[in-house]
Structure 1
Amino acid sequence: LLLAPVDEDAIAIAQANLDSARAQYNSIANSVTSDDIRTAELTYQNWLQTYNALIALRDQAPGGYGSIAYNTYDAQAGAASFQAEIARLQLEQLRNSTSPQLGAAGARIRQAEAELARLRAGAQPAQIQQQEILLQQLRERVKRAETGFYRTILTAPFDGVISAQNAEIGALIAPNVTVMELTDISPLWVTIQVDELDIRLLRENMEATITLDALSNVEFSARLDKIATLGQNINGIVSYDVRLALTQDDPRIRIGMTTEANIIIENRKNVIIIPNAYIRRDRDNRAFVNLVQGNTIIRDVPITLGLIGQTTSEATTGLTIGDVIALDIAQNRFMQNN
């Protein structure tokens, strides 16, 4: 352990005190009285009693050896022992001297000599160790206090709004109780369930459109943000959560609104599209339509389909722009689409 550095100023003061005590000793010539000796005896006995009382308190200190109370009483007992020794020396000097002032002066000389020697030696290793233990205990107390303080602070893990608050100010909170719920609204997002047969068609960053029941005939653009890795089996049907993030802000949109989403798997321009209701398939999954030419209906004209949507599909071959196709024929009437 490192010792405390020697204080030269304190040593100079101690040396001056020693010189003064020696000078006073040499100038004293009074005789010693019985009252002086009695007073010195009482002083010595008082310090002994104080020392013994502090030792008893130290041995019964809470926490035992090494605790803060133990170290405090131990330090006080050391100081009392030092004072008792001075009182004993003073009593001895008075008993053996012809003057009480001379005995006291001699004791002061010895006290000044002891103080000077202590300062020159610096702090003792045992004293330094005792203070280091006390300092470590104080640091632990500060650390526990800081931990308790920071446990009273809730830090939001992300920016958002408080969507639910389940506690009131001043209420006692039990462990594992949700105090509040934080909702991330930047951006707003929608979670939909996609069947396992269709999930293979999706990938992140695909474009999508979202409509809200509360805002009819208004479409909002979105982007496929995340596809769940783990599916959910509900009544034998496996589906996966897909999160769509809105790419535009609109103050009319509120959290919790009912939505419908359409994900754009592939997009093509300048192609021929026909309603799916006009398409017929055979057992080999080939596609046909009824083509109208003038007043004549040519049945089962083969066509080749490209992209197939929920309501319309792309015809890559078999039709040209302007062709008229029939939906069904009944009683010489038919519905046409071009």
Structure 2
Amino acid sequence: MSNHTQKRKQRFKVGTRAIASAILVLLVIAAGLVVSNILGRAQATALGPATVLVTRGRIVGSVSGSGAIAAEQTVDLSFQTSGVVKTVAAAAGDHVQAGQVLADLDTNDLQLALANAQTAFNQQQARFDQLRAGASEYDLATAQANVESAQANYDAAVRKANVNDSQLAVARAQLDKATLALQKAQSDYDIAVAEAKPSDQLKTLAATLAQVKIDYSSAMANYNIQVASINDSSVRSAAASLASAKATLAKLQNSPTVQDLQIAQAQLEQAKIALQQAQLRLRNAQLSAPFAGVIMAVNIAPGSSASSALAAIKLMDRSTLHVNLRLNENDVAKVEEGQAVDLSMDSLSGWKAQGILGYIAPAAETSNGVVTYAVRVNFADSSPKVRVGLTANVTIITAQKADVLLVPNSALLPKGAGHIVQVLDANGKARDVDVETGISDGAQTEIVSGVGEGTPIVALPGTAQRPVSPFGN
């Protein structure tokens, strides 16, 4: 046999022994696993399911959510009148106070208009005051002197022309009588109006005044006819002058009338409104901060045009920040306004704040079949790192209890509308016990009744009863 053949036989024997050894090792390992699993099963049966004790402690119930941080208010400020910007006293990032002037327009034309309106108002006020005070003693004396002078001139003209003025004298007497009646009727009516007499009395006085005015007009017309019938022009002229002087005196003695005062009052009010409008236009040429806050943007510069259509400055109020979020039906039933809220942010590690639940929407909104309620959480933070628009995590504290019985949520099993726990008897067999639960924090639940402190209960009820295969799970 050649050396080559002998070497081939030797290699075959070595390979066969290696394969046999590997198979033997695998059989030993499999046998060990079976034995170990059987022993483990026996040990688990001896020890029973894992248990935990009912403990006593503090629990906090909460509802969680998240939302973007928003400012209390943000407004775009615009001039309420058009013009050219004169000065800008604010820049983006500035902190301003309420009432602080931020910018103003050129006001030369507005100031001139205001001065004219003020002058017109002062004139109307003086006229009204003078009218309300009535005729002065000097004016009355002057008017009376004019009547006496006109009477003397008329008498002289009659004598010179040798005119029989008997009919004219009668007409003049009737006119004088009508004048006196008119003065009395006007005075009675004015007094009644000033004293706010009943409407039926005012109606009677108004009717009397209207009739007296008709009688006066008739007497004046008759007098003028008599004057016109006189052939002598000098007598006619003197008679007309006398009638005019008497009418002026009567008007002064009877002034002011209610109508005169009403007209003057209306004119004064118009002048006042014009003055207020001029003042308003001048104020509108100045842009002031309506509240304390931070300037976000400035869109104007000195020399640029401004109007009510242009947002000149954007202002944000950071005095109170808030987070808007939405809660589902189950969560919104647990919260109420005024509850404390803990806030944190993933983007600002270590940042925490406390807030208050300030608003819960009275009605739900439905989107894609999901019902949610809008909720607002208010909090204060002056740190510049807490920027509007960042996402904040909120935890609304719905309830807090101390020194209560607690079990892990995993130890509870549902039973109808309630819950049960499993307690081991003396033989290590689990039995169901009904328990009354309270609030939960997501990890633990309050036990109101059913088990006592220190009672061992099954940590994972139901899992201990699963059959175990000899070869493991």
Give TM-score scaled by structure 1 length. Answer: 0.50
Give TM-score scaled by structure 2 length. Answer: 0.37
* Greater relative contact order, per chain length (Cα 8 Å cut-off, separation 6+): 2
Q: Which has the larger radius of gyration?
A: 2
Task: Flag the structure with higher helix content.
Answer: 2
